[in-house]
Amino acid sequence: MHNFIKFETQSTAEKLIETALQFKENPFLQKELGKDLRIGLIFLNPSLRTRASTQIAAKNLGMEAIVFNIDKEGWALEFEEGVIMNENKAEHIKEAAAVLGGYFDVLAIRAFPTLIDKKQDMADKVIHQFIKYSHKPVVSLESSSRHPLQSLADMMSIEETWKQDKKPKVVLSWAPHVKALPHAVPNSFAEWALGLEHELVITQPKGYELGEQFTKGAEIEYDQEKAVADADFVYIKNWSSYHDYGKLPEVEGNWLLQDHQLKESAKIMHCLPVRRNLELADELLDGSKSLVQLQANNRIYAAQAVLFEIISNMK
Ligand code: CP
């Protein structure tokens, strides 16, 4: 593995989950592997879990991790080719990425979508420019279109929790929110769940359908109550409209899930941060069905498995 920016193959994903579970058992199994290697964690957007878990993962492998909030502490970056830079952007991505590639052995980037320019967002322009100009392995810390480290931790959490031979029924459910949110988490979750051959049902109000490039093979059910009734795992997440890009079409009915709608053995998942009693009710977040802390904890070992594969390839 060189870059980690999306789901690649089922066998790669299964190997990463196995490695992540091994690191969870013994975090310091490879504590010398990354000695003398440095990772730059470049954030264009806020983060709690991704920032801390990736730093811990790097440290567990003996790597040095340096966090750079480039949106606040760096020069304003220009991403367009061939422009006359006579406005407010002081540095071009060509120089910035090349310089950072010279400082670090691995780069990890968080770059959210504009939610305005769909074509640019879906092309993951920012992360691909870092790949092009840094000449170093790049890990996505959440791009415009995907959040693969989150999805790897989510799939690991399902694997760890599900003790039966048959595949679980997994439901991805839209939830209410007050803001227009990106599609990266649900896109990625669908991509990984389908790639790992889980039975996936997606439930959302009309107007909130995700891009078919991510959901092909999933069952779409507009009735949330029906979708979740026999679910083993329900992944709660808000997203804005994909087809009317970044907009918030009017929603009919109450999409805040209730405990009584789920079977007793069902598990609830959310990537966090979560808005309590807007996206997910207290009774579910604080109850025994919730896997949210397990997912957050597994972010460390998911990142560690990815860094392990990347730096093993470099040696
Ligand atoms: N789930 C997740 O990526 O959390 P942060 O945005 O806090 O990193």
Per the annotation, does 148 bind a ligand? Answer: yes
Residue 182 and residue 242: Cα distance in Å, rounded? 9
Residue 153 and residue 151: Cα distance in Å, rounded? 5
Whether the CB of 220 sits within 6 Å of ligand 1: no
Residue 155 alpha carbon to ligand 1 centre in Å: 16
Cα-Cα-Cα-Cα dihedral sign, residues 301, 302, 307, 312: positive
Task: Identify the pLDDT of residue 106.
Answer: 98
- Dihedral (Cα; 4, 10, 11, 13), 10-degree rounding: 40
> Does 315 have pLDDT greater than 90?
no
Per the annotation, does 48 bind a ligand? Answer: yes
Task: Identify the pLDDT of residue 184.
Answer: 98
Residue 86 alpha carbon to ligand 1 centre in Å: 35
Task: Identify the pLDDT of residue 13.
Answer: 98
Task: Identify the pLDDT of residue 215.
Answer: 98
Whether the CB of 271 sits within 6 Å of ligand 1: yes
Residue 34 alpha carbon to ligand 1 centre in Å: 24
- This prediction has a pTM of 0.97
pLDDT tens-digit series, residues 14-50: 999 999 999 999 999 999 999 999 999 999 999 999 9
Whether the CB of 238 sits within 6 Å of ligand 1: no
CA distances to 73, 111, 186 from 189, rounded to whole Å, are: 31, 18, 5
Helix (H, G, I), strand (E, B) or coil at 8: coil
Confidence band (pLDDT; 50, 70, 90) for 1? Answer: confident
Per the annotation, does 260 bind a ligand? Answer: no
Q: Using DSSP, how many helices (H) and how many strands (E) does the chain show? A: 12, 11
Pocket test for ligand 1, best of 42, 142, 189 (most atoms within 8 A of CB): 142
CA 139, chain centre distance (Å): 11
The stretch 197-223 carries a mean pLDDT of 97
pLDDT tens-digit series, residues 61-106: 999 999 999 999 999 999 999 999 999 999 999 999 999 999 999 9
**197-214 residues labelled b (16+ CB within 10 A) or e (exposed):** ebbbbbbbbeebbbbeeb
Whether the CB of 50 sits within 6 Å of ligand 1: yes
Residue 217 alpha carbon to ligand 1 centre in Å: 27
In whole numbers, what is the pLDDT of the chain averaged over residues? 97
CA-nearest residue for atom 4, ligand 1, is: 49
Q: Which atom of ligand 1 is nearest to the CA of 53?
A: 8
> Does 159 have pLDDT greater than 90?
yes
Residue 161 alpha carbon to ligand 1 centre in Å: 21
Residue 97 alpha carbon to ligand 1 centre in Å: 23
